[in-house]
């Protein structure tokens, strides 16, 4: 069944294909945020993961994962923690960190989460904006392992199924749910998967 038609329609209307493999969606997700669409996404993530409760935390990476993660956290009624990418004077000691290569920026970033906000008692739902090669989510998985927490699943707003991230997560036996799955970009247009 095709999920969240509204999102697919919005991608078709406002998304811009850049080069071979990048989709720009800065009018509703990556720069300007559409809270009404985000609210729908939160409902959909709740529907997809409600049977996997208890969930104690939603985890994401700054900055574009924060909006969908907050709406998911709202629906589950749990805190949302975002991994920080930049060194901060207030985030020094007692941190879990992992190295992540950024697909869009082509640089390596260290992402960090304070020990205070993740522990072995947590059951974690990861939410992110895009799944491309899976590096960002692998970084979060590394941090979840360091904390001894348990992963419940991964929810993604837009999956580019032609890149290798989905396969990597499937091979690890992780439950992955994507609200829109892109099969390919053809002549500058987005083609969604039918399943
Ligand atoms: P990955 O780590 O899976 O290779 O890439 C995931 C991260 O890269 C996402 O969190 C997102 O910020 C960024 N990203 C990957 N592909 C795209 C894309 O096509 N468009 C945009 N706007 N961001 C992307």
Report domain extents, the chain: 2-192
Span 142-171, pLDDT tens digits: 999 999 999 999 999 999 999 999 999 999
- In DSSP terms, 181 is beta-bridged to 159
Pocket test for ligand 1, best of 23, 109, 129 (most atoms within 8 A of CB): 129
Helices 5-14, 35-49: axis angle to 10 degrees equals: 140
Do residues 112 and 43 touch, judged by C-beta distance below 8 A? Answer: no
Asked whether the predicted pLDDT for residue 137 surpasses 70, the reply is yes
Q: 190 falls in which pLDDT band (50, 70, 90)?
A: very high
For 2-192, the fitting CATH number among 3.30.1490.20, 3.30.360.10, 3.40.50.2020, 3.40.30.10 is 3.40.50.2020
Span 24-78, pLDDT tens digits: 999 999 999 999 999 999 999 999 999 999 999 999 999 999 999 999 999 999 9
Residue 1 is predicted with a pLDDT of 42
Residue indicated by tokens 């390596």 = 108
Assess whether the C-beta atom of 134 lies below 6 angstroms from ligand 1: yes
Q: Please count the residues of the chain.
A: 195
What helix, strand, coil percent values describe the chain, rounded to 5?
Answer: 30, 35, 35
Residue 26 is predicted with a pLDDT of 97
């Amino acid at each position: 069944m095709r999920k969240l038609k509204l999102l697919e329609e919005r991608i078709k209307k406002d998304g811009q294909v850049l080069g071979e493999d990048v989709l720009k969606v800065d009018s509703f997700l990556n720069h300007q945020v559409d809270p009404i669409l985000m609210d729908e996404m939160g409902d959909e993530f709740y529907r997809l993961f409600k049977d996997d409760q208890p969930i104690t935390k939603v985890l994401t990476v700054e900055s574009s994962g924060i909006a969908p993660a907050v709406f998911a956290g709202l629906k589950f009624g749990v805190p949302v923690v975002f991994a920080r990418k930049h060194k901060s004077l207030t985030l020094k000691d007692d941190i879990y960190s992992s190295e992540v290569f950024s697909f869009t920026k082509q640089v390596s970033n260290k992402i960090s989460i304070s020990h205070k906000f993740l522990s072995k008692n947590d059951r974690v739902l990861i939410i992110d904006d895009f799944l491309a090669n899976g590096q960002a989510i692998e970084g979060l998985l590394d941090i979840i392992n360091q904390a001894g927490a348990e992963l419940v699943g991964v929810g993604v707003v837009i999956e580019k199924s032609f890149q290798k991230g989905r396969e990597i997560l499937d091979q690890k036996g992780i439950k992955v749910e994507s609200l829109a799955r892109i099969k390919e970009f053809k002549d500058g247009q987005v083609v969604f998967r039918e399943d």
